[in-house]
């Protein structure tokens, strides 16, 4: 953008081609790669176009200032030389013209290509050496994160002069020290509506936007905010892709591999110790390694993330069993027993959580009053922090509105094209100011009221009875786990099943160890099946086999005595224990055959859903012992008489019947179901479906009752 002389010289090569005898319309300028490196690691569409034109024999002369402007690596350069030698294409630069098909010219061009690579290496070596030498002293000026600016002296880094910017950055570190979670920190900023400063690249105007998770994470993980000067956190590597082409990629390095790391280089928002504690906390919140504890979550498992297996040392995982209160812990490792894999350790968590909570409250009792005082102060001051940021946002909005007004008043009135745009910007700034002031006023009205003297005394009284605070409904599981992690670092569990006892080893922060022996609950399984289920099984056994009965019971959500789903073996065991006879298929009854819905559908030539609809409407009769049991339909002469080939004379369709009787379709089908109307189903013809014998119009459809008569 600034050094354009070299570019102008390259475009002037058109005149050089004209001087050599080419017409101006014959000269093709290829500038697609302007600003793209020729080191062979970048996609260069212009160079590909050049090689294609040469290979097709469409080029007579290739002109360039020097070899390095065409290619900075010998692989591309020699490829072009080979193509030019085959197609008799001449290559020219400021020194003269060369024919790659001539040995002497090719030798000279090859030396120039080699020298181009040497030149590139020397330039990089000088530049990189100067950059790294200056960075080693902490004086190299690179892009700084938002909230920090360069001073006048070499290597001087200062905090941003904007108070709102400093307050937003400082609030991130202050709040993270309380919530210990990047996500919770980000959610708090969004819930409070606090905007975050953003500068997309060095020199860009500062903007205020809604904070994103990556912005908050970047602030917490950047050591520059902790007063460190950093250089070489990333490294560019070369590799070969799947197509065999050389490529480059950027790799983020670990802190131990950074080229330059100078602590206490400048004043930071936090110190080094706090920064390292924050990185350790963030690393523990992520489940990337077996040693990570994970962030505090919403589940009721009090020891989530900090409990270890006393047998193999793995970190236990949490699960919740159906039908049991509270969580359970299990080891992800497996052991082989009799050729089968099983859990290394598996234990219920309710009793263990109670024991650990008791030990924690016992240790916290002396500090209860002090914690209550701090809670009272935090309750009143937490809201002020958010209001402080909103007041700064109002000041910033006022400045933007005044700035827009000054710009509008400085423009000449006759220049309406500019004046209209500035007037629109002024109106937008005033609207943003009004919205910010309204939001600040709303938040000030929503300020939590100050605690009275009596409320303070009650709060202090709770300090000596932390058990009530711990078990209060307003105390969330997340709060309990966060408090537990403040004092307890790890809990190691081992279980002795034969003794129904668990051994807990609590490792407190600071190195103290506490051993606890916790008796485990003995769960007594039910030994009798529910009587209601037994009664239903006895009724079903007269019609179905054990497998069918098991399916019916499972569809109704019933469980066996041991809490399992029913199987044919379980049903058979209960039936034999209760003395219920086994189902014996009976011979075909004299008056018909009992069939299922599927078989009835096959006999009638319809789909099963149609049979289900006829059962619901009462057109055909069937019985079902219990919900979920198969339907039984009696197929006899009376059943077959309901299905005819042609409609009887005078019988009407359902639609015609509703019009004739002046009632709804539902009423008609109800009378068919009760037998008050006769109905048949026509199988053939264009008008298949139900036909109904309509009663005489003189006969009333409904019998009058005293109640209806009086109502009329």
Residues paired with 340 in a beta bridge? 337
Question: Could you give the maximum distance between any two Cα atoms of the chain, in Å?
Answer: 126
Classify residue 359 as exposed, middle or buried by CB count within 10 Å of its CB (0-12, 13-18, 19+): middle
- The verdict on 316 and 463 lying in the same domain is yes
Q: What is the pLDDT of residue 372?
A: 53
Task: Name the least confident of 157-161, 221-225, 536-540.
Answer: 536-540
569 and 638 share one domain: no
Q: Which domain covers residue 621, as residue numbers?
A: 607-707
Residue 552 has pLDDT above 60, yes or no: yes
Indicate which CATH number applies to the domain containing 113: 3.40.50.1390
Q: Is residue 196 part of a domain?
A: yes
Residues 574 and 677 in one domain: no
How many whole angstroms separate alpha carbon 144 and alpha carbon 138? 13
Report if residue 140 sits inside a domain: no
Task: Count CB atoms within 10 A of the CB of residue 693.
Answer: 13
Does residue 51 sit in the same domain as residue 183?
no
pLDDT attached to residue 26: 92
Q: Give yes or no: residues 308 and 271 share one domain.
A: no
435, 479, 688 from 442: Cα distances, Å:
11, 28, 70
Angle of the 665-674 helix axis to the 654-661 helix axis, nearest 10 = 100
Q: Which of 496, 523, 550 is the last residue of a domain?
A: 523
692 in the same domain as 663: yes
Q: Is residue 647 situated within a structural domain?
A: yes
Sheet holding 513-519, edge to edge: 307-309, 488-496, 501-508, 513-519
Mean pLDDT taken over the chain: 78
Q: Are 106 and 214 within one domain?
A: no
332-348: average pLDDT: 66
User: Looking at the structure, do residues 485 and 339 belong to the same domain, yes or no?
Assistant: yes
Please write the tens of the pLDDT for every residue from 286-326: 765 555 666 677 777 888 878 888 878 788 888 887 656 67
> What token pair was written down for 440?
């600040």
Q: Which of 166, 136, 173, 170 is nearest to 149 (CA)?
A: 166
* Contact predicate 496/502, CB 8 Å: yes
Q: Are residues 513 and 540 in the same domain?
A: no
Total of domains in the chain: 5
**Domain membership flag for residue 297:** no
- Chain segment 51-71, per-residue pLDDT in tens: 999 999 999 999 988 866 777
Same domain, 536 and 443: no
How would residue 337 be classed by pLDDT, with cut points 50, 70 and 90? Answer: very low
Q: Where are the beta strands (DSSP E) in 275-432?
A: 307-309, 317-319, 328-330, 334-337, 340-343, 346-348
Please give the pLDDT value at position 53: 92
Residues 479-484: contacts with CB under 8 Å, at least 24 apart: 480/302, 480/357, 481/296, 481/297, 481/302, 481/304, 482/180, 482/296, 483/360, 484/302, 484/303, 484/306, 484/356, 484/357, 484/360
Q: Are residues 515 and 535 in the same domain?
A: no
Model confidence at 429, in pLDDT bands (50, 70, 90)?
confident
Can you tell me the distance from the alpha carbon of 122 to that of 68, in angstroms, rounded to the nearest whole number? 13
Same domain, 341 and 490: yes
pLDDT above 50 for 698 = no
Instruction: Please report the pLDDT score of residue 541 as a whole number.
Output: 80
- Asked whether residue 220 is assigned to any structural domain, the reply reads yes
Q: Is the pLDDT of residue 82 over 70?
A: yes
Residue 256 domain flag: no
576 exposure class (CB count in 10 Å sphere: 0-12, 13-18, 19+) = exposed
Report the pLDDT value the prediction gives residue 706, as an integer from 0 to 100: 42
How do 689-693 and 678-682 pair as beta strands? antiparallel
Q: What is the DSSP string of 615-646?
A: HHHTSS--B-SSTTSPPBEEESHHHHTTEESS
Q: At residue 448, does pLDDT exceed 80? A: no
What is the structure's pLDDT at 226? 92
Q: What's residue 225's pLDDT? A: 93
CA distance 528 to 526: 6
Mean pLDDT of 534-557: 82
Place of tokens 């009086």: 710
């Amino acid at each position: 953008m600034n050094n354009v002389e070299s570019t102008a010289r390259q475009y002037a090569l058109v005149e050089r081609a004209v001087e050599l005898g080419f017409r101006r319309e014959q000269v093709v300028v290829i500038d697609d790669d302007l600003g793209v490196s020729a080191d062979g690691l970048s996609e260069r569409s212009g160079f590909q176009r050049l090689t294609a034109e040469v290979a097709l024999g469409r080029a007579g002369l290739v002109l360039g200032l020097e070899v390095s402007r065409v290619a900075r690596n010998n692989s591309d350069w020699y490829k072009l030389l080979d193509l030019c030698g085959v197609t008799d294409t001449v290559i020219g630069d400021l020194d003269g013209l060369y024919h790659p098909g001539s040995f002497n010219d090719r030798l000279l061009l090859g030396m120039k290509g080699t020298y181009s690579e040497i030149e590139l290496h020397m330039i990089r070596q000088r530049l990189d050496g100067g950059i790294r030498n200056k960075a080693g002293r902490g004086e190299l000026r690179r892009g700084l994160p938002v909230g920090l600016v360069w001073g006048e002296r070499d290597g001087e880094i200062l905090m941003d002069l904007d108070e709102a910017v400093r307050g937003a950055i400082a609030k991130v570190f202050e709040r993270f020290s309380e919530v210990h979670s990047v996500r919770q920190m980000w959610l708090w900023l969004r819930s409070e509506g606090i905007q975050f400063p953003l500068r997309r690249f060095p020199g860009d105007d500062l903007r205020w936007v809604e904070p994103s998770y990556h912005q908050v994470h970047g602030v917490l993980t950047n050591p520059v905010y902790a007063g460190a000067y950093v250089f070489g956190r990333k490294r560019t590597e070369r590799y070969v892709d799947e197509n065999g082409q050389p490529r480059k990629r950027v790799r983020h390095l670990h802190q131990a591999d950074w080229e330059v790391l100078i602590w206490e280089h400048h004043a930071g928002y936090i110190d080094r110790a706090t920064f390292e504690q924050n990185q350790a906390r963030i690393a523990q919140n992520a489940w990337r390694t077996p040693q990570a504890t994970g962030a505090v979550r919403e589940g009721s498992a009090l020891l989530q993330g900090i409990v270890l297996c006393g047998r193999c040392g793995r970190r236990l995982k949490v699960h919740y069993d159906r039908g049991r209160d509270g969580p359970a812990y299990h080891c992800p490792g497996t052991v082989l027993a009799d050729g089968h894999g099983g859990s290394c350790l598996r234990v219920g968590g309710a009793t263990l959580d109670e024991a650990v909570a008791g030990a924690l409250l016992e240790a916290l009792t002396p500090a209860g009053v002090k914690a209550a005082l701090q809670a009272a102060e935090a309750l009143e001051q937490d809201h002020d922090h958010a209001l402080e940021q909103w007041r700064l946002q109002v000041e910033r909005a006022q400045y933007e509105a005044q700035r827009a007004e000054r710009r509008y008043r400085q423009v000449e009135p006759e220049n309406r094209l500019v004046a209209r745009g500035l007037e629109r910007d002024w109106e937008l700034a005033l609207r943003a100011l009004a919205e910010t002031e309204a939001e600040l006023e709303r938040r000030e009205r929503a300020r939590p009221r100050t605690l009275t003297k009596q409320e303070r005394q009650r709060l202090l009284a709770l300090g000596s009875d932390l058990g009530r605070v711990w078990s209060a409904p307003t105390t969330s599981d997340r709060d309990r786990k966060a408090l537990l992690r403040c004092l307890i670092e790890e809990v190691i569990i081992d279980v002795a099943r034969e003794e129904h006892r668990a051994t807990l080893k609590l490792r407190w922060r600071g190195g103290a160890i506490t051993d606890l022996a916790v008796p485990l609950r003995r769960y007594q399984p039910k030994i009798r099946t529910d009587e209601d289920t037994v009664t239903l099984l006895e009724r079903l056994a007269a019609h179905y086999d054990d497998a069918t009965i098991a399916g019916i019971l499972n569809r109704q959500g019933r469980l066996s005595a041991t809490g399992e789903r029913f199987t044919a073996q379980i049903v058979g065991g209960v039936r034999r224990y209760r003395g219920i006879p086994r189902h014996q298929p009976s011979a075909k009854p004299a008056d018909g055959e009992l069939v299922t819905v599927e078989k009835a559908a096959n006999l009638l030539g319809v789909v099963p859903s149609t049979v289900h609809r006829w059962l619901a409407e009462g057109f055909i009769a069937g019985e079902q012992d219990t919900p979920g049991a198969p339907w039984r339909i009696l197929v006899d002469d009376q059943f077959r008489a309901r299905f005819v080939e042609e409609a009887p004379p005078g019988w009407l369709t359902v639609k015609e019947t509703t019009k004739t009787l002046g009632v709804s379709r539902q009423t008609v089908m109800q009378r068919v179901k009760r037998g008050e109307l006769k109905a048949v189903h026509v199988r053939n013809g264009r008008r298949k479906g139900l036909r109904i014998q309509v009663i005489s119009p003189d006969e009333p459809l409904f019998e009058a009752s005293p109640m209806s008569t009086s109502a009329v």
